């Protein structure tokens, strides 16, 4: 029998050509959405094709969807999205902000886990679409001796289009492994006290640095089609709960904070109110001329926050008469965020470490 807990590279009783066995470790595999390798047409097309062909993201029949995607959407969108990525690209490191931030988060979490568990826990990250692929990282962890893997989709809120598809890809990778490790997946953490605390602290810090207090804080979450909510996806409710817990933690009145949904794609109705319309309405109808916007559904700043919120949504607000617009960055690699993520990991590792 293979004994993974032994430190020997080959079991004593085994024949000389017996495969070498590494000392057993635990792997913590963080997963984010993924991002194009570059902003040129073909890199963008490859990324968008993989992303928008995922039936967890767009659930139309492939017979109808694929011709539209391949012939219409992928002939135009790589150009417009490529331009948007170009405007936020981290040229120094040759990668998108989502990639840079995910690397920084991973390094900090790895440092904390090393301090707590030494070499017994290995931390790495993968992406659902593009690189580094989930499959390559699962392979590396197993190769390094990980007999147990905790898979952690870095989304505070569960959505079929994010957490579930990340988990699907993880399980697909395991299908190819001869000696499958024991695995766990991490629950959404939208109501975790340390996540709420990290959000609240970042907002208090941002408000403390402003000359004048905003009239309202807009919590803008990535949207999904309204139909997904009707079909049982709990994402909408989890977003509403994060805003409520944040409001309670900040001790604010109801009219100081609101929930909106952004990034609508395609002709279907998505979760409402749409951020781009709501900020304009706040300025023109409610007289809220000073607003702050934060994006609690994103664990890292990305195209949807740096470009869509800070450019497109800001423009909509100013066009409607808004005067002061402050975007409060995502939690990224803030110490309080790393502390929250490490706490979630430790809670999910119970009984393993």
In the complex, the residues that contact ligand L6N33NVT under the rule CB under 6 A are: 33, 35, 57-58, 77, 81, 96, 98, 155, 159, 161-162, 222, 224, 235, 263, 265, 297-298, 302-304
Which one of ligand L6N33NVT, Fe ion, none is in contact with 165 (Cβ closer than 5 to 8 A by kind)? none
Minimum CB separation of residue 97 from ligand L6N33NVT in Å reads 7
Which of 203, 165, 195, 208 shows the shortest CA–CA distance to 299? 195
Residue 304 is labelled as binding a ligand: yes
Using the rule CB under 5 A, give the single segment among 63-71, 93-101, 143-151, 231-239 that binds Fe ion: 231-239
Q: 3-state DSSP call for residue 42?
A: helix
DSSP structure class, residue 231: T
Residue 18 is labelled as binding a ligand: no
Closer of 31 and 58 to ligand L6N33NVT (Cβ): 58
Assign residue 222 a region (left: φ > 0; alpha: ψ between -120 and 50; beta: otherwise). Answer: beta
Which one of Fe ion, ligand L6N33NVT, none is in contact with 89 (Cβ closer than 5 to 8 A by kind)? none
Is residue 128 a contact point for Fe ion (CB under 5 A)? no
CB 300 within 8 A of CB 258: no
CA separation, residue 316 to residues 32, 264, 291, 326 (Å): 29, 15, 12, 13
DSSP track, 79-128? HHHHHHHHHH-BTTTTB-HHHHHHHHHHHHHHHHHHHHHGGGEEEEEEES
CB 79 within 8 A of CB 40: no
Alpha carbons 276 and 270: distance in angstroms, whole number:
13
Name the residue number minimizing CB distance to ligand L6N33NVT.
302
Minimum CB separation of residue 157 from ligand L6N33NVT in Å reads 6
DSSP 3-state helix, strand, coil percentages of the chain (rounded to 5)?
50, 15, 35
Which one of ligand L6N33NVT, Fe ion, none is in contact with 235 (Cβ closer than 5 to 8 A by kind)? ligand L6N33NVT
Where b means 16+ CB within 10 Å and e means fewer, 233-254 reads bbbbebbebbbebbbebbeeee
Which of 309, 306, 277 shows the shortest CA–CA distance to 292? 309
Q: What are phi and psi of 95, to 5 degrees?
A: -155, 170
Closer of 67 and 321 to ligand L6N33NVT (Cβ): 67
Closer of 236 and 247 to Fe ion (Cβ): 236
Q: What does the per-residue mask of binding to Fe ion show for 183-222, with x meaning CB under 5 A? A: ----------------------------------------
Using the rule CB under 5 A, give the single segment among 69-77, 127-135, 232-240, 322-330 that binds Fe ion: 232-240
Closer of 303 and 331 to ligand L6N33NVT (Cβ): 303
Alpha carbons 181 and 147: distance in angstroms, whole number:
5
Contact with Fe ion (CB under 5 A): which of 236, 247, 264, 314?
236
Alpha carbons 203 and 210: distance in angstroms, whole number:
11
Which one of ligand L6N33NVT, Fe ion, none is in contact with 303 (Cβ closer than 5 to 8 A by kind)? ligand L6N33NVT
Which one of ligand L6N33NVT, Fe ion, none is in contact with 260 (Cβ closer than 5 to 8 A by kind)? none
Minimum CB separation of residue 175 from Fe ion in Å reads 26
Contacting residues for 118 by C-beta, under 8 A, at least 6 apart: none
Binding interface with Fe ion (CB under 5 A)? 236-237
Residues at the annotated binding site?
222, 304
Residues at the annotated binding site for Fe(2+)?
222, 304
């Amino acid at each position: 029998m293979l004994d993974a807990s032994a430190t020997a590279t080959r079991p004593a009783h085994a024949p000389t050509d017996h495969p070498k066995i590494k000392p057993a470790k635990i792997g913590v595999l963080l997963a984010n959405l993924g991002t194009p390798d570059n902003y040129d047409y073909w890199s963008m097309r490859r990324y968008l094709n993989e992303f928008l062909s995922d039936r967890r993201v767009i659930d139309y029949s492939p017979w109808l969807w694929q011709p539209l995607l391949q012939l219409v959407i992928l002939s135009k969108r790589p150009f417009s999205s490529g331009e948007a990525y170009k405007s936020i690209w981290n040229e120094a490191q040759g990668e998108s902000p989502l990639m840079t931030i995910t690397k920084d988060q991973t390094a900090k979490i790895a440092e904390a886990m090393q301090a707590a568990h030494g070499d017994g826990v290995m931390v790495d990250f993968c992406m659902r679409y593009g690189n580094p692929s989930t499959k390559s990282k699962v392979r590396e962890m197993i190769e390094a001796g990980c007999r147990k893997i905790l898979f952690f989709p870095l989304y505070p809120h569960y959505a079929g289009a994010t957490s579930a598809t990340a988990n699907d890809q993880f399980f697909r990778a395991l299908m190819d492994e001869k000696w499958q490790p024991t695995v766990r997946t991490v629950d959404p953490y939208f109501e975790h006290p340390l996540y709420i605390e990290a959000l609240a602290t970042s907002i208090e810090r941002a408000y403390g640095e402003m000359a004048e207090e905003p009239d309202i804080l807009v919590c803008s979450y990535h949207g999904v089609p309204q139909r997904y909510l009707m079909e049982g996806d709990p994402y909408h409710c989890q977003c509403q709960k994060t805003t409520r817990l944040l409001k309670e933690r900040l001790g604010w009145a109801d009219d100081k904070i609101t929930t909106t949904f952004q990034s609508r794609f395609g002709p279907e109705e998505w979760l409402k109110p749409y951020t781009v319309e709501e900020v304009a309405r706040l300025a023109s109808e409610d007289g809220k001329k000073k607003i702050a916007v934060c994006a609690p559904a994103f664990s890292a700043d990305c195209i949807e926050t740096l470009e869509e919120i800070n450019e497109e949504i800001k423009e909509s607000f100013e066009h409607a008469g808004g005067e002061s617009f402050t975007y409060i960055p995502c939690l990224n690699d803030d110490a309080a965020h790393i502390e929250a993520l490490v706490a979630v990991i430790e809670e999910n590792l119970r009984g393993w470490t």
